[in-house]
Structures are given as C-alpha cells and as structure tokens.
Amino acid sequence: MRDMLEGGRLDVLTGDYLAELTMLILGKDTLKDPTTGYAKTFLRQVADCLDLALQRDVKIVSNAGGLNPAGLAAAIEALGTRAKVAYVDGDDLRGRLDSHPDALTANAYLGAFGIAHALDAGADIVVTGRVTDASVVVGPAIAHHGWKRDSYDELAGAVVAGHVIECGTQATGGNFSGFLTMSPQARARPLGFPVAEIAVDGSSIITKQDETGGTVTVDTVTAQLLYEIQGPLYLGPDVTTDLTSIRLSEVGIDRVAISGVTGTPPPATLKVAVNSLGGYRNSAEFVLTGPDIDAKAAWLRDQLDAELPIGPDYTWSTYRIPAPDSPTEEGAACILRLSARAADADAVGRALTAPAIELALASYPGFHVTAPPGRPSPFGIYKAAYVRRDRAPETVHLPDGSTYEVPSPLDYAEASRTSAEASRTSAETSRASAETSRAASGVTTRPTGATPRPTGPTPRPTGATPRRALGELVYARSGDKGGDANLGLWAPQWRPDAVVEWLLDTVTPEWVRALLPEAEDLAIDITPLPHLRGVNIVIHDLLGEGVAASTRFDPQAKGLGEWARSRIVEVPAELSPEELL
C-alpha cells in the first residue's frame, strides 16, 4: 500500500481481499472470536498509510471487511485519524439461506453503487463485505463520472478494467506464460501493481507506475482477462458484460487500452458464495525410489487397502516414473500420496496414520515418508447459490452515522432466469456469435458459406503432421471457480493470425479431454474469444467441492495451464514453430 501511495499519482487505491478460500478462513476466525471476520492485514496497512493517503487526497476502497465490515470500520476509526470512514453491508445471509441453513458463511455478491454513494457523501475510506472483485474499481468510477444505473456500456468497461487489476501483479507479468519475453530488468525488480485509468465512456488504459518491475502488454492483460471467467457473458450485480466485445491495443510503453466493451442489464438474482464445514482430512506421502516403481506402489496400496477402515473417502495420487540413472537420490524418487476425508476426525487420525507407519519395515524396499504423520484438519465445502435481490438489501453506513439503502437496478436480463442458467445458455450459444466476430475482426480465412466449426477433431492435411508442445504456439492462464477449473488459451501477439484460426478450430471438448486426461469424464464448456485471440475453457468439477475440500495435487488449478502447454499435440505443418520463424 505504501509503495503505491509513494509511487505516483492516484485518485483511488483499491484492494480485493476476498478469495473464496478467504471467506472460509474468516468464517473459522469468527467461530473463535465473533469480533473478527475481517482482513487484519488490511488494517495493519491502513494503520501505516492512512495519514499519507489523506495528505495526498487518495481515497481507499476495499472489500477487506469480509464478514464484519462494521468491525473493520470501527477499528479504522479507532486509529485516531481524521479520516471519514464508511462501510457497506447487507451481503451476509448466514442463517437466512433456506438451502444452506447451517452454512458457516453465506455472502451475496453485491455491486458498486453503494461504494459510489459513500464516496459521493465524502468518505475517505470505504470498506465492504462481499462485493464483487471488480466493484471496488467500478464504484469509484461511478462516483467520479456520474454514471447512472442504466449506463451499461460504461459500467461494463469499468468491470473489465476492475477484472484486469483485481489480482494485482498478475496483469504486469506475474503468473505469465510469456515471462521469458520480459526483459531481464523487468524481471529483476519487484513487479509493479497495475493502474487503471478509466475514462467517462468506460474505456480504460492499464498501466503501472514508473520505476517498477514487470511489464504491461496486450498479452499480460489478456492473461488476466482469461483468468477465472466462465463464458462469453460476465454476470455481475450491476451489469452483464459481453466479453466478446473487448478490444485491446498497445498505446505506449506499458500502456494497454481497453475499448469497445458493451453491457446489458444484470440478472434478476444475486450469486451467493456458501462455505460449509465438510469434515476432516489427512494425508500421508510415501517416497518411491529407484527401479520397479509401479510394483512398489501396487504392493503398498494392496497392504494399506487391507488395513484402512471402511468409511473415509480415500484418494491415491498419480506419480511419474523417475528418470533412469539419476545422479542424485532425489532425482530417482517420486511421491505417492494417500489422502483421506471423513466426517469424523478419528477416522482419518491414527486410523489412517498408524497402518501407514507400521509398514515402515514391512513393505517395499526403500520405504520412507516425507514427514511424520499429521493430525486431521477440518476442511470446507464451497457451493454457489442464487437469491432474489430483495433477500440481500445493500446498505451504506455513512461517516455522519446515517444509512442509505441502495435501490435495485432499473431492469433485469430475463428476470425469470438465474445467473447460473444464463451462464449455461451463453456457453451453448457462444460459437455462432464468435463466428460473426471472427469475420469482423479479420482473423478468419474461411469464406462466407463455408462449413461451420466442427464439433470433433479438425481434419488434418495429408502427409506427416508435426507434433509439438502446445506451449510452443500458445500462452495459458488457469484458475478455479468453486469446483470448476478455468483454462484460457491464446495466441501471443507475435504469432500470426493463422495460429488463432487453428486454435479456434481445434479446441473442442473432445480435444481438451485428450489433452488433459484428468478431464476425461467431465463436462467441458468452450467459449471462443477471437478478439482476444483465444478460447476460454471451463472444466466442471475438476476440483471437486472447491479448494478447501479438494485433495487434488493442484487444488486451485494454478498450474493447469502450464501442464496443458507442456502436452504434445498435432499441428499442421505450416504452423510448426520452424515454419513460423
């Protein structure tokens, strides 16, 4: 926070603190102490920097209030500064959600107009509960430009800007497949946080402060745009944003313009993030070394299957055979992980660890584990629900002690449908609209009236077909949305349009299942995004019941994109990297 305040001119400093997992953590905190439930890190930073923000006339907006925005606002006021503090609540539906009466947390995703009202009323700092990630950016833009409830295109543009900067340095080179294209100087310094300059028409420029590391390019911005989205329509409490309308262009060094974004009325319902306590889990990691790895793993599994209690949900990890003739012992070894979940802690305590350790002298040669047996730990389950807007009245608590209830939007998009239904339908209809968009963008080389995009693997030219790592042609970004994994693939700006065309024609659910065998039996949605030179892929249920419950090796799918890029695929000869040089 101090780096941003000292790094250059700002009007508003925003912070998104509420990942799905964070809400579960805050919920557990309130079980121990009901006066907590907000992000203490934010409070420490505010204590250090609020005077500086006031001196520089920089407003601060954050959703760090979590489950207790009133408590966070009171803690900020107790710092003794002259800051005018406002907070927004109304999102907390614990005990009021019929479908999840015992939820640990249940928070509706509120919008940006409450934040805007607080700023209009003179607040220096606004803290909220569960507003959408982008709302902390959209709210200040509404207040500054005077947008109305039906300024849908402008709101949509600000939502896109907010989505780009909400994860900080992921827009400036962090978690970026093309990191090797960044200069050594850009990688040597701490990456700068992104800055959004939002115009009155909703267009924006994404940049960063001078003398910071990282870079801002169309590709770094694309990476973040494709992060954790689920279809062509980005459904929010204030506006539905058409992601296929986004246009990106570089307008200077570390300056990328976002334009053309269109919006329509929001859905009639609000999404609710629900976290519940799911039970307890534990694990043991066995090291397999040297030859006969498969036989060693099979013997261990047979031995434990005979001893482990019936009841818990057991999961064995996959493993990779080590390279032969390794010069180090570590290089000759791999890990086999046993994970267990149960409602009762005792079922995954000594009942799990004792049989595992008792085999130390009675199993495969070289038996050892990575760590001593651990104690069971509780896990949470994430679910999404949907409620009518009147179930979550958004209330602004102003610095003068008065309150203001935010009115609902003027219109709704097909009010009889829920956000989830709209999202599913948008995925089914996206291909036809994408074909029109591709023709308008000049990406497609298919003549009018040609055969539509195939639903199966693309026919290949006769003769030998090169096989290459997918990452030689495309970049990727991946993440989680509850139990679903999101994977964005796009052709870098320096690749010709032919790569984009190949990607749009090739990526089908069947192709993804072949690329990522873990998804073989799962539902997959594909959204073509030709103006972003790529596609978005949603793999449903890959992460089970969400990060807090998943026993998967990578429970948030952070490395899924890089795994995909490492996979070998067939490409037309004319698109082999050698031909593209």
DSSP code of 92?
Answer: B
> For residue 580, what pLDDT band results from cuts at 50, 70 and 90?
low
Q: Specify if 436 maps to a domain.
A: yes
The two counts, helices (H) then strands (E), for the chain are 16, 25
The distance between the two most distant Cα atoms of the chain, rounded to a whole number of Å, is 76
| pLDDT tens figures, 151-166 | 999 999 999 999 999 9
pLDDT value for 576: 72
What distances in angstroms separate CA 410 from CA 264, 270, 404, 415, one per listed residue?
11, 15, 18, 12
The answer to whether residues 108 and 387 touch, using CB atoms and an 8 Å cutoff, is yes
Strands annotated E in 377-523: 377-388, 395-397, 403-405, 467-469, 475-481, 484-490
Claim to verify: residue 214 and residue 316 sit in the same structural domain: no
The answer to whether residues 208 and 186 touch, using CB atoms and an 8 Å cutoff, is no
Please list, residue by residue across 141-173, b when 16 or more beta carbons sit within 10 angstroms of its beta carbon and e when fewer do: bbbbbebebebbbbbbbbbbbbbbbbbebbbbb
| pLDDT tens figures, 245-284 | 999 999 999 999 999 999 999 999 999 999 999 999 999 9
The model carries a pTM of 0.89
Residue carrying the six token digits 């999202």: 423
Average pLDDT over residues 210-224: 97
Note down the domain range covering 535: 419-580
Show Cβ contacts of residue 417 under 8 Å, excluding neighbours closer than 6 positions.
Answer: 267, 268, 425
> For residue 410, what pLDDT band results from cuts at 50, 70 and 90?
confident
pLDDT value for 417: 43
Show Cβ contacts of residue 393 under 8 Å, excluding neighbours closer than 6 positions.
Answer: 90, 405, 406
Q: Specify if 364 maps to a domain.
A: yes
3-state secondary structure of 462: coil
| Structural domains of the chain, count | 3
Determine phi and psi for 264, rounding to 5 degrees: -135, 170
Half-sphere exposure of 420 (CA within 13 A, CB side): 9
**Above 90 in pLDDT, residue 440?**
no
> For residue 318, what pLDDT band results from cuts at 50, 70 and 90?
confident
Claim to verify: residue 519 and residue 444 sit in the same structural domain: yes
| Mean pLDDT, all residues of the chain | 90
Between strands 59-62 and 12-15, the pairing is: parallel
Structure tokens of 199?
């115009």
Q: Specify if 555 maps to a domain.
A: yes
| Angstrom distance (rounded) from CA 322 to CA 324 | 6
Claim to verify: residue 438 and residue 566 sit in the same structural domain: yes
Q: Specify if 456 maps to a domain.
A: yes
| pLDDT tens figures, 339-357 | 999 999 999 999 999 999 9
3-state secondary structure of 61: strand
**Of 456, 414, 458, nearest to 570 (Cα)?**
458
Q: Where does a domain end: 333, 356, 381? A: 381
3-state secondary structure of 560: helix
Claim to verify: residue 476 and residue 427 sit in the same structural domain: yes
CATH code assigned at 366: 3.30.70.360
Claim to verify: residue 229 and residue 332 sit in the same structural domain: no
The answer to whether residues 172 and 215 touch, using CB atoms and an 8 Å cutoff, is yes
Claim to verify: residue 227 and residue 365 sit in the same structural domain: no
pLDDT value for 566: 97
| Angstrom distance (rounded) from CA 270 to CA 160 | 19
Q: Specify if 304 maps to a domain.
A: yes
Claim to verify: residue 426 and residue 543 sit in the same structural domain: yes
| Angstrom distance (rounded) from CA 114 to CA 406 | 6
Q: Specify if 494 maps to a domain.
A: yes
Claim to verify: residue 462 and residue 546 sit in the same structural domain: yes
Share of the chain above pLDDT 90, in %: 82
Between strands 524-529 and 395-397, the pairing is: unpaired
Torsion angle of the four alpha carbons 367, 371, 374, 378, in this order, in degrees rounded to the nearest 10: -110
| Angstrom distance (rounded) from CA 296 to CA 180 | 39
| pLDDT tens figures, 544-563 | 988 888 888 899 999 999 99
Structure tokens of 411?
């219109």
3-state secondary structure of 271: strand
| Angstrom distance (rounded) from CA 518 to CA 247 | 34
Share of the chain above pLDDT 70, in %: 90
The answer to whether residues 568 and 515 touch, using CB atoms and an 8 Å cutoff, is no
Supply angle C-alpha 423, 429, 432, rounded to 5: 145
Claim to verify: residue 370 and residue 459 sit in the same structural domain: no
Angle between helices 69-77 and 40-55 (to 10 degrees): 50
| Angstrom distance (rounded) from CA 492 to CA 565 | 13
Give a three-class secondary structure readout of 165-212: HCCHHHHCCCCCCCHHHCCHHHHHCCECCEEEEECCCCCEEEEECCCC
Claim to verify: residue 455 and residue 520 sit in the same structural domain: yes
| Partners of residue 339 on adjacent β-strands | 283, 315
The answer to whether residues 529 and 536 touch, using CB atoms and an 8 Å cutoff, is yes
| Partners of residue 126 on adjacent β-strands | 61, 86
Q: Specify if 360 maps to a domain.
A: yes
Residue 438, H or E segment: helix 419-441
| pLDDT tens figures, 135-149 | 999 999 999 999 999
Instruction: Look up residue 56 and give its amino acid.
Output: R
pLDDT value for 419: 41
Q: Where does a domain end: 264, 299, 318? A: 264
Claim to verify: residue 474 and residue 530 sit in the same structural domain: yes
Residue carrying the six token digits 């509706």: 108
> For residue 579, what pLDDT band results from cuts at 50, 70 and 90?
low
pLDDT value for 445: 28
